[in-house]
């Protein structure tokens, strides 16, 4: 498998559940301790060797572009922007990069907050297993959080066997995170995945379900002020203890 040099960050959403804050800023620019969420995610990608990142924008796109223009000297990475004209889901956002990427790539959601010293283990697993898709998962004991995110089941080989978006009754205590690694062939799976009947969007969970049927898939979204507050405080605590 070739080196993973490219990253994709879907950051087109508004974050309407955040009230007045979403009128001021796009969701990905919400402050996470001392920097916006998306800035922290770009730094994570750079730490893994990503050389160029494609950011998918829509809502308040100019503010996102202006922000990265203001910090371009601080980030050792090429930043590109692609506009998602209609909000048709994360999978559709990823599909917009098809003409630009012909090698394996990494995806981090623009509103994802994953606290970890390193994500290198994900890169290593993706390479070792030669998977079409790999999604980061964590143990989640809070059933209510699982009901608002996604629930994942894996077999003894850590292959995803089931993934359900916002389940009414979670079938495991594993939650999918907004971090993915994909082979270039994922575009074929996205193209073969129908839009969901609920949101009329091509859900990334449905794409991974399709990959999982062939046993090729391995495995803190911020949705409220409480999520943002918890994430920011945790980052602040770890930064002050020099644990990140």
pLDDT, tens digit, for every residue of 155-214? 887 788 888 888 888 888 888 888 999 999 999 999 999 988 777 888 888 999 899 888
CA-only gyration radius of the chain, Å: 17
Rounded to the nearest 5°, which phi and psi values hold at 179? -125, 125
Asked if 9 contacts 38 with a C-beta cutoff of 8 angstroms, the reply is yes
Cβ neighbours of 14 (radius 10 Å): 15
- Residues 6 or more apart whose CB falls under 8 angstroms from that of 32 comprise 40, 113, 228, 231, 232, 235
DSSP letter (8 states) at residue 56: E
pLDDT over 70 at 220, yes or no: no
Q: What is the CATH number of the domain that holds 83?
A: 3.90.550.10
Take residue 172 and report the two structure tokens written for it. Answer: 């495991």
The beta-strand segments (E) located in 141-239 are 150-154, 160-165, 174-182, 217-218
**4 falls in which pLDDT band (50, 70, 90)?**
very high
- What is the Cα–Cα distance from 164 to 166, expressed in whole angstroms? 6
User: In 3-state terms, what secondary structure has residue 204?
Assistant: helix
Q: How far is Cα 238 from Cα 233, in angstroms, rounded to an integer?
A: 9
Does residue 1 sit within a domain? no
What distance in Å separates the CA atoms of residue 170 and residue 152, rounded to the nearest whole number? 9
pLDDT in tens, 100-147: 999 999 999 988 877 777 788 888 888 888 889 998 888 888 888 888
Cβ(132)–Cβ(186) below 8 Å: yes
Task: Supply the pLDDT for residue 221.
Answer: 46
Q: State the chain's mean pLDDT as an integer.
A: 85
Question: Is residue 155 a part of any domain in this protein?
Answer: yes
Q: What's the distance, CA 126 to chain centroid?
A: 16
Place of tokens 């999982």: 212
Contacts of 142 (CB under 8 A, 6+ apart): none
Tokens read off for 109: 């959601």
Look at the chain and report how many structural domains it folds into. Answer: 1
Report the distance separating Cα 156 and Cα 188, nearest Å. Answer: 27
Asked if residues 221 and 178 have their Cβ atoms less than 8 Å apart, the reply is: yes
Containing domain of residue 155, as a range? 6-240
Q: For 23-64, how does the pLDDT look when each residue is reduced to its tens digit (9 = 90+)?
A: 788 888 988 888 899 999 999 999 999 999 999 999 999 999
Residues contacting 124, CB < 8 A, separation 6+: none
Distance in angstroms (rounded) separating the CA atoms of residues 78 and 203: 28
């Amino acid at each position: 498998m070739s080196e993973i040099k490219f990253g994709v960050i879907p950051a087109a959403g508004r974050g309407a559940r955040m009230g007045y804050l979403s009128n001021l800023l796009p969701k990905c620019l919400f402050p996470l301790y001392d920097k916006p969420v998306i800035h922290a995610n770009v730094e994570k990608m750079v730490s893994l060797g990503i050389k160029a990142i494609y950011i998918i924008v829509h809502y308040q796109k100019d503010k996102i572009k202006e922000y990265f223009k203001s910090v371009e000297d601080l980030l050792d990475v090429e930043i590109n922007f692609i506009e998602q004209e209609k909000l048709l889901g994360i999978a559709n956002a990823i599909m917009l990069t098809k003409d630009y990427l012909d090698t394996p790539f990494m995806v981090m959601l623009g509103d994802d907050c994953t606290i970890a010293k390193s994500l290198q283990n994900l890169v290593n697993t993706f390479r070792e297993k030669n998977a079409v898709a790999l999604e980061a998962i964590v143990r989640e004991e809070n059933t209510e959080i699982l009901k608002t995110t996604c629930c994942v089941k894996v077999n003894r080989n850590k292959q995803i066997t089931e993934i359900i978006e916002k389940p009414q009754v979670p079938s495991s205590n594993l939650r999918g995170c907004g971090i993915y690694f994909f082979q270039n062939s994922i575009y074929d799976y996205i193209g073969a995945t129908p839009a969901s009947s609920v949101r009329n969007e091509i859900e990334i969970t449905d794409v991974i379900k399709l990959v999982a049927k062939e046993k090729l898939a391995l495995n803190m979204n911020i949705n409220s002020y409480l999520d943002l507050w918890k994430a920011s405080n945790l980052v602040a605590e770890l930064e002050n203890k020099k644990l990140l």
